[in-house]
Amino acid sequence: MDKNAMKKMAAERSVDFVEDNMILGLGTGSTVVYMVEALAKRVQAEHLNLTCVCTSIRTEEQAKSLGIPVKALNDVDHIDLTIDGADEVDANFQGIKGGGAAHLFEKLVATTSTRNIWIVDQEKVVDTIGRFPLPVEVIPFGSQQVFNKMAKEGLNPEFRMTADGQHVLTDSKNYVIDLHLNQVQHPHLLASWLSEQVGVVEHGLFLDIVDQVVVGAPDGVKILTAK
Ligand SMILES: O=C(CO)[C@H](O)[C@H](O)COP(=O)(O)O
């Protein structure tokens, strides 16, 4: 089955968890695009009263264009539920995000949220995270020095560039360094090391954050719940 079809299945199922009057976090990425479309249909059909907090300019534009009410993270006092995509997730519900360079806002919204649901296709459920390059957002000033430290640690860093050779910029106008690790055996240790580096704004290790994972697979949608 095509990967996008599996993403769409998971995305459409995930909006069943949305309840009237919720403050809802909306993630970023191609799976989230399907989720926002499905959400807009429910809002319209059931006249749901929702307040949504978006994790990127892209998601905010889509939500607004479909008539979904949006507020800034600073303007809400809590978030009930956040639905987001992910790049990889293991059996312990530890994951990697940031393939769309939105992990800083995504982590802020996720850690404000009472509950977090990820929507993925089955290929993203892995034994050990790290095959997907780990995104790290860094400020442009001195980023080459941060890169050099990562290289010295054996983390195989690579600046994320556009097709025409420019640095990919996050919504906060920062750079992204992708770490080619192949596998992350000790995610908490790596997360601590990265967080200690001056110039690092946020990394894409999302540890102990997600509560449920909605997985699109050829034989249907599976809902995994954290132990
Ligand atoms: O973390 C993210 C963006 O920063 C995305 O949620 C993640 O990259 C998954 O994207 P997609 O749904 O397009 O596969």
How many angstroms is it from 77 CA to the middle of ligand 1?
26
Tell whether the model's pLDDT for residue 152 goes beyond 90. Answer: yes
Question: Could you say which DSSP state residue 166 is in?
Answer: P
Residue with tokens 């990265």: 194
**Predicted pLDDT at 191:** 98
**Predicted pLDDT at 226:** 84
203 lines ligand 1 (CB under 6 A): no
106 given a catalytic annotation? yes
68 lines ligand 1 (CB under 6 A): no
The one catalytic residue among 12, 60, 88, 106:
106
Comparing CA positions, the residue from 147, 157, 83, 160 lying closest to residue 120 is 83
pTM across the whole model: 0.97
How many angstroms is it from 103 CA to the middle of ligand 1?
9
* 100 among annotated binding-site residues: yes
Over residues 151-162, the mean pLDDT reads 98
Count Cβ atoms within 10 A of the Cβ of residue 218 and give its class: 0-12 exposed, 13-18 middle, 19 or more buried: exposed
Tell whether the model's pLDDT for residue 118 goes beyond 90. Answer: yes
**Predicted pLDDT at 185:** 94
Each residue's pLDDT tens digit, 159-207 = 999 999 999 999 999 999 999 999 999 999 999 999 999 999 999 999 9
Residue 221 CA: distances (Å) to CA of 63, 97, 114, 150, 185: 24, 21, 23, 38, 28
Whether residue 183 contacts residue 161, with contact meaning beta carbons closer than 8 Å, is answered with no
How many angstroms is it from 28 CA to the middle of ligand 1?
6
**Predicted pLDDT at 227:** 76
128 lines ligand 1 (CB under 6 A): no
**Predicted pLDDT at 15:** 98
Comparing CA positions, the residue from 169, 165, 161, 166 lying closest to residue 201 is 169
The pLDDT mean for the chain works out to: 97
* 170 among annotated binding-site residues: no
Domains of the chain: 3-125+207-225 (3.40.50.1360), 134-202 (3.30.70.260)
Q: ipTM beyond 0.95?
A: yes
Tell whether the model's pLDDT for residue 102 goes beyond 80. Answer: yes
Tell whether the model's pLDDT for residue 209 goes beyond 80. Answer: yes
| Nearest atom (ligand 1) to Cα of 97 | 1
Ligand 1, pocket-test mutation among 31, 62, 136, 170, most atoms within 8 A of CB: 31
| Nearest atom (ligand 1) to Cα of 7 | 12
How many angstroms is it from 87 CA to the middle of ligand 1?
6
**Predicted pLDDT at 195:** 98
Share of the chain above pLDDT 70, in %: 100
143: which 2 tokens?
Answer: 């980023």
Share of the chain above pLDDT 90, in %: 99
| Nearest atom (ligand 1) to Cα of 33 | 12
